């Protein structure tokens, strides 16, 4: 702690001392302290040379006037414009993961920088800084002083129970208004952000906050160039007043946001879904690890500025994923094996990303057809390589390029969603949320066969892939899915006692109704997932044991089911399934390693050691088991 405080005091002294000699107000024949504009500077006859005028023309196009006022004011305070290169020294006080990167960027721009201390020289410095700043990071252009007008009407007759929480963001803004932040402030902030003790260093965070609020001109320039500096709070400090204005406007018109969100959600999702969520506005994305989960939706408000439509779209996307979970039962991981399981992952990304982009696009909404053609071609190549299964590195690259970056699969999915809705209808899309991506793809195939004129050949799939879609779709009996999903939906808002009685009676009813059904194994799987999703873990295991003999890839299914329970901290039920794993695969080193993991989480270290030794007896070279055992022996 003492070390960090000494560094902080030294930094304040250095820059305070430097500024004492830097703020003698050089005569630029222009008052940068006032609210000036580009036209005044460009055409005011201030004796700029031709090169400086050309630079000014470029800056007028690339730089927001608000940012320009902040930057030029800070530059004008410096005793010499050449002091701007000293922002490299500030990197020493930034976080370890960025300080070296930022220093290299600054040095690459300012290594040979020297200008005359004139208005033209100031413009040369501004040009260098503009080149240094990443245009992708948030800045003044994110804040346009727009009003919250979404031009929407309440068309659903429904209400979503979404509450907006401003406390974390406002507390952070209050800290950034202080002249000095203490460790007590950080302790309170960490508690508010629900940061587990031991996951952060209060001494370091205190230092970051105090550097973030440093208002000396060099710090202002540094934070403008790197708004993600000091754990993302450098830029937040610069635009704190604008951020507070955004939060105030949202607070005053919450109902408009709710209506916009619910209108988007109910395009494809049923109105009976339980949307109970807290939208939590936060600032400083990298200050504490993101622990928001469950029904909490964290929104880093600085990255949206006053684009209220984008804010509602982001919230809509998170709520859509919550809603999709309520109208589906994810048993697909057990139905598809081998290359089909990987193919399912890709198809699922196409469906979810496509439907999200359709109702709440965060990027460019209209993609040129020429680029869409490339998206479909990329997907067809990905499918081909998955089916061949020879080059794992190539497959991973193709999938990564499809899901991330330009999100080729998601823009393709948006086009598919549009075609399905226009040709086949919304009902097919709603059903596909319940029945999974195979149903979504099947509906699209139906769409292009019905509308051959508008859905060209380039946007279709190969005959072999169409057969694959049919094969995958046949494994999903709609009548069973519909029956069990309906039970899940109706149980959503029941009280505990009422829910237990309802579930017991409904399970008995469907078991009797489908006792002789040829898909009874699917029924067991659906009931197992239903009971798991609503928190009846012991009953869920009973039905999973019933279906286990019929599962094709038992080892994979057992592992998936075990870790579903572990992720819910249900170690007793995970142990029951793990015992089944060992019974079926007694010679598997992994079966004992998996059970050891469960025993460890149950604080049963002796049994964990026994299972690790059994795993190593089967394979003495199992590095994971050896490291795990060594850890236990040293604890």
Q: DSSP letters of 161-216?
A: EEEEE-HHHHHHHHHHTSSS--HHHHHHHHHHTTPPTTSS-HHHHHHHHHHHT--S
pLDDT of res. 20: 41
pLDDT of res. 9: 43
Digit-coded pLDDT (tens) for 215-251? 999 999 999 999 999 999 999 999 999 999 999 999 9
pLDDT of res. 290: 57
* Residue 446 CB neighbours (<10 A): 15
Residue 114 has pLDDT above 50, yes or no: yes
Q: Is 279 helix (H, G, I), strand (E, B) or coil?
A: strand
Residue 17 has pLDDT above 80, yes or no: no
Digit-coded pLDDT (tens) for 406-417? 788 999 999 999
Output the six-digit token pair for 429.
């899309």
Mean pLDDT of all residues in 421-428? 95
pLDDT of res. 6: 46
- pLDDT, greater one: 25 or 349: 349
Beta carbons within 8 Å of 335's beta carbon, 6+ residues apart: 475, 476, 522, 525
Q: Are 206 and 182 in contact (CB under 8 A)?
A: yes
- pLDDT, greater one: 233 or 366: 233
Planar angle of CA 492, 498, 503, nearest 5 degrees: 65
Q: DSSP letters of 286-334?
A: TTS-----TTEEEEEGGGTTT-HHHHHHHHHHHHHHHHHHHT----HHH
Q: What percent of the chain has pLDDT over 70?
A: 92
Looking at the DSSP bridge assignments, the partners of residue 163 are 278
Digit-coded pLDDT (tens) for 541-552? 999 999 999 999
Residue 521 has pLDDT above 70, yes or no: yes
Mean pLDDT of all residues in 358-380? 80
Q: Are 253 and 307 in contact (CB under 8 A)?
A: no
Digit-coded pLDDT (tens) for 480-496? 999 999 999 888 778 88
For residues 515 and 525, give the distance between their C-alpha atoms in angstroms, rounded to a whole number: 14
Looking at the DSSP bridge assignments, the partners of residue 165 are 280
pLDDT of res. 149: 78
Q: Are 323 and 414 in contact (CB under 8 A)?
A: no
Digit-coded pLDDT (tens) for 545-592? 999 999 999 999 999 999 999 999 999 999 999 999 999 999 999 999
Question: In terms of C-beta density within 10 A (0-12 exposed, 13-18 middle, 19 or more buried), how is residue 518 classed?
Answer: exposed
368: left (phi over 0), alpha (psi -120 to 50) or beta: beta
From first CA to last CA, the distance across the chain in angstroms is 28
* Residue 406 CB neighbours (<10 A): 16
- Of the candidates 276, 175, 164, 212, which has an alpha carbon nearest to the alpha carbon of residue 11? 212
pLDDT of res. 66: 92
Q: Taking all residues of the chain, what is their mean pLDDT, rounded to a whole number?
A: 89
Q: Looking up tokens 């090169």, which residue turns up?
A: 51
* Residue 258 CB neighbours (<10 A): 21
Query: Which range among 11-15, 36-40, 145-149, 192-196 shows the weakest confidence by mean pLDDT?
Result: 11-15
For residues 635 and 631, give the distance between their C-alpha atoms in angstroms, rounded to a whole number: 6
280's enclosing H/E stretch is: strand 276-282
For residues 72 and 79, give the distance between their C-alpha atoms in angstroms, rounded to a whole number: 13
pLDDT of res. 11: 53
Digit-coded pLDDT (tens) for 33-89? 999 999 988 888 888 889 989 999 999 999 989 999 999 999 999 989 999 999 999
Mean pLDDT of all residues in 500-519? 94
Eight-class DSSP state of 423: I
Q: Grade residue 613 by pLDDT with cuts at 50, 70 and 90.
A: very high
Q: Are 26 and 117 in contact (CB under 8 A)?
A: yes
Q: What percent of the chain has pLDDT over 90?
A: 69
282's enclosing H/E stretch is: strand 276-282
pLDDT of res. 370: 67
pLDDT of res. 547: 95
- pLDDT, greater one: 47 or 118: 118
pLDDT of res. 462: 95
Digit-coded pLDDT (tens) for 171-218? 999 999 999 999 999 999 988 888 887 778 889 999 999 999 999 999
For residues 152 and 521, give the distance between their C-alpha atoms in angstroms, rounded to a whole number: 47
Residue 12 has pLDDT above 60, yes or no: no
Beta carbons within 8 Å of 615's beta carbon, 6+ residues apart: 589, 590, 592, 593, 596, 622, 625
Mean pLDDT of all residues in 628-632? 90
Looking at the DSSP bridge assignments, the partners of residue 52 are none
* Cα-based distances in Å from 271 to 158, 275, 327, 357: 7, 10, 11, 20
Beta carbons within 8 Å of 155's beta carbon, 6+ residues apart: 263
Domain spans of the chain, in order of start: 2-136, 161-204+224-323, 332-474, 478-634
Residue 440 has pLDDT above 50, yes or no: yes
Residue 293 has pLDDT above 80, yes or no: no
Q: Looking up tokens 């990071």, which residue turns up?
A: 137
For residues 68 and 61, give the distance between their C-alpha atoms in angstroms, rounded to a whole number: 11
Residue 342 has pLDDT above 50, yes or no: yes
The fold for domain 478-634 equals 1.25.40
Q: Are 472 and 344 in contact (CB under 8 A)?
A: yes
């Amino acid at each position: 702690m003492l070390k960090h405080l000494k560094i902080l005091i030294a930094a304040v002294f250095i820059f305070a001392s430097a500024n004492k000699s830097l703020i003698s107000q050089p005569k630029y024949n222009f008052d940068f302290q006032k609210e000036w504009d580009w036209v005044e500077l460009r055409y005011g006859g201030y004796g700029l040379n031709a090169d400086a005028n050309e630079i000014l023309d470029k800056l007028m196009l690339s730089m927001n006037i608000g940012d320009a006022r902040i930057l030029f004011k800070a530059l004008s305070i410096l005793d010499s414009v050449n002091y701007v290169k000293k922002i490299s020294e500030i990197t020493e006080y930034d976080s370890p993961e960025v300080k070296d990167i930022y220093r290299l960027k600054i040095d690459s721009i300012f290594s040979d920088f020297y200008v005359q201390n004139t208005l033209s020289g100031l413009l040369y410095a501004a040009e260098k800084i503009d080149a240094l700043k990443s245009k992708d990071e948030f800045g003044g252009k994110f804040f346009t002083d727009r009003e919250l007008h979404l031009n929407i009407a309440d068309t659903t007759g429904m209400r979503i129970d979404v509450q907006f929480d401003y406390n974390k963001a406002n507390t952070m803004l209050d800290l950034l208004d202080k002249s000095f932040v203490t460790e007590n402030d950080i302790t309170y902030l960490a508690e508010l952000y629900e940061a587990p003790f031991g996951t952060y260093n209060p001494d370091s965070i205190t230092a970051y906050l105090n550097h973030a609020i440093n208002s000396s001109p060099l710090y202002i320039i540094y934070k403008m160039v790197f708004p993600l500096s000091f754990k993302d709070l450098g830029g937040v400090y610069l635009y704190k007043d604008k951020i507070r204005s955004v939060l105030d406007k949202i607070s005053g018109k919450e109902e408009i946001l709710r209506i916009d969100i619910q209108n988007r959600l109910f395009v494809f999702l049923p109105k009976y879904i339980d949307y109970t969520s807290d939208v939590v506005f936060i600032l400083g994305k990298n200050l504490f690890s993101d622990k928001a989960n469950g029904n909490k939706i964290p929104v880093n408000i600085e990255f949206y500025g006053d684009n209220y439509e984008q804010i509602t779209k982001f919230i809509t996307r998170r709520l859509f994923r919550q809603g999709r979970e309520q109208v589906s039962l994810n048993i697909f991981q057990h139905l598809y094996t081998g290359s089909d399981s990987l193919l399912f992952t890709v198809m699922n990304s196409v469906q979810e990303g496509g439907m999200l982009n359709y109702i709440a696009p965060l990027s460019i909404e209209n993609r040129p057809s020429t680029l869409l053609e490339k998206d479909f071609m990329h997907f067809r190549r990905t499918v081909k390589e998955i089916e061949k299964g020879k080059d794992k590195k190539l497959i991973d690259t193709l999938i990564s390029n499809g899901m991330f970056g330009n999100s080729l699969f998601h823009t393709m999915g948006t086009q598919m969603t549009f075609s399905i809705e226009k040709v086949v209808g919304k009902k097919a899309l709603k059903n596909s949320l319940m029945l999974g991506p195979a149903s979504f793809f099947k509906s699209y195939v139906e769409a292009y066969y019905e509308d051959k004129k508008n859905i060209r050949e380039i946007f279709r799939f190969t005959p072999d892939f169409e057969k694959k879609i049919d094969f995958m779709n046949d494994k999903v009996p709609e009548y069973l899915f519909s029956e069990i999903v309906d039970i899940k939906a109706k149980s959503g808002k029941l009280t505990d006692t009422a829910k237990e009685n309802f579930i017991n009676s409904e399970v008995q009813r469907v078991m009797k109704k489908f006792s002789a059904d040829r898909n009874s194994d699917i029924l067991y799987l659906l009931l197992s997932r239903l009971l798991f999703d609503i928190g009846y873990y012991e009953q869920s295991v009973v039905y999973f044991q019933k279906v286990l003999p019929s599962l094709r890839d038992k080892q994979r299914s057992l592992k998936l089911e075990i870790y579903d329970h572990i992720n819910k901290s249900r170690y007793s039920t995970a142990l029951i399934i793990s015992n089944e794993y060992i019974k079926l695969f007694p010679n598997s080193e992994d079966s004992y390693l998996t059970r050891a993991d469960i025993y460890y989480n149950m604080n049963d270290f002796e049994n964990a050691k026994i299972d690790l030794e059994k795993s190593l007896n089967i394979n003495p070279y199992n590095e994971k088991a050896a490291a795990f055992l060594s850890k236990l022996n040293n604890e």
